[in-house]
Structure 1
């Protein structure tokens, strides 16, 4: 499936190029780029969104992995001298190097479905240098990002996204807006990192481990799902019913459990040090 630029959309990159002008305009309105924002686009593809952002923000930077697209982008936007292309894998890219004059990044992208979840986790780790993110994702991924406890879509992605960011689903986009048309509906989501974390954990990696362990056994009760990490008595001491399933717990509950696990680990290692003295 090629287009007027003769570029074959590549399955291994999960490429679906945006071409509907009405949808592109609606996305750019939602992003609302300003001339002096530090804008970064992930996976610009053939530059449909890029073109609209560049017309407002000529110093846009893009991160693109598909080296066949880079000459297409260079040719198309040769008259924007400040436009920069980083040929890199966004999953491994250090976005903090793009911060200019201490101004946080505004990140946008039509993310390939096959990397969207790991990429969002990667970006959440760098949320400290980000003002906001606007992504086109599979509708189901947006539902997972925005889900609250008790929803079918609630899980690790939503909890960790909401730990770092306010999540706002904006609007849905049908398959016809892309070439080739994907088999699923897409949606636009806005992620705005919290200035102050609403439920800060003492140790982020412990929180991630608790949430991952819980949802690896999402059909089990907490007492079973987290048996290796906390006792029933400890869960009850936090006011958490051990007969619930992971999907019934709020972010605040998971942070409470993680803090307790972290305190247990710290007191265990202190006890070990004392016994070795």
Structure 2
């Protein structure tokens, strides 16, 4: 007899039984590693903070472990975006038990503007596919004004790159972009054995809470160009690494010595570089 999972009022099969019934084997091409422990998925949902009156978007729900945990919160709605047709069938079954509250979207999250799926206030809570986690995050950072919070699971190494301080091994372009627009922190680590199949690395959940003031799109593009150049050749001094976008003139405008290297700059330094680069790109008024 099926038992209740994560405190849902309607009985559900265990996730393992759901996976078996639908033949939902995890596919490497989709970066799938399913999280089946309801205790862990409930903890991840709790890491998103108070979800009262919040609309939640989840990417890559798979068999729906985290989806069930999110539905067990006071969230106003949960919208799931899934590219795997096998998982869509499972999500539609779950949606039938939650009419009007769980919305299922069959699409590639890389191509979809997720902010159009539900009204604000909205959050993203997701166990991201390993193969697209970083580009998805950068896309959401570009539109950080749309999100109250992002609670995302990555490989631990990626999580460390997001949260790394200056002049540390993991500090780079992803840290600058993330910390420039949001307050970032690792809030939970998860061992490989919690997943089916187990990945070869540890995973971690990162909370990103966007700052109240956000850069305009043009300034964000300027920051992307500056960080790509600065960290593209990490061993070079900045006067050489930034030569293609202004070099010494750009550094002088930002008040930064040309013999420094990218990993020694803090977020405020990069902010000045991005503003100086945007100024150089803008036509004279």
* TM-score, normalised relative to structure 2: 0.86
Which residue does 1:252 correspond to in 2? 268
- 1:63 maps onto 2:81 in alignment: yes
Please identify runs of 4+ aligned residues in structure 1 that moved more than 6 A.
199-202
Assess if the C-alpha contact under 8 Å between 1:124 and 1:161 holds in 2: yes
Check 1:99–1:240 CA distance in 2 against 1; reply closer, same or farther (3 A cut).
same
Q: Deviations over 1:87-122 (max 9, x none)?
A: 11111111221232xx22111100011101100011
Which residue does 1:91 correspond to in 2? 110
- 1:12 maps onto 2:29 in alignment: yes
Assess if the C-alpha contact under 8 Å between 1:201 and 1:258 holds in 2: no
Check 1:270–1:16 CA distance in 2 against 1; reply closer, same or farther (3 A cut).
same
What is the Cα deviation at residue 261 of structure 1?
A: 2.5
Assess if the C-alpha contact under 8 Å between 2:240 and 2:247 holds in 1: no
- Note the 1:97-176 alignment, pairs <5 A: 97-100=116-119, 103-176=120-193
Q: Aligned equivalents of 2:91 and 2:165: distance in 1?
A: 40
Check 1:231–1:156 CA distance in 2 against 1; reply closer, same or farther (3 A cut).
closer
Which residue does 2:93 correspond to in 1? 75
* TM-score, normalised relative to structure 1: 0.89
Name structure 1 gaps, 5 residues minimum: 272-277
Assess if the C-alpha contact under 8 Å between 1:147 and 1:158 holds in 2: yes
**Root-mean-square deviation over aligned CA pairs:** 2.2
Assess if the C-alpha contact under 8 Å between 1:44 and 1:63 holds in 2: yes
Which residue does 1:227 correspond to in 2? 243
Across the two proteins, how many residue pairs are aligned to each other?
266
Q: Aligned equivalents of 1:259 and 1:58: distance in 2?
A: 39
Assess if the C-alpha contact under 8 Å between 1:98 and 1:105 holds in 2: no
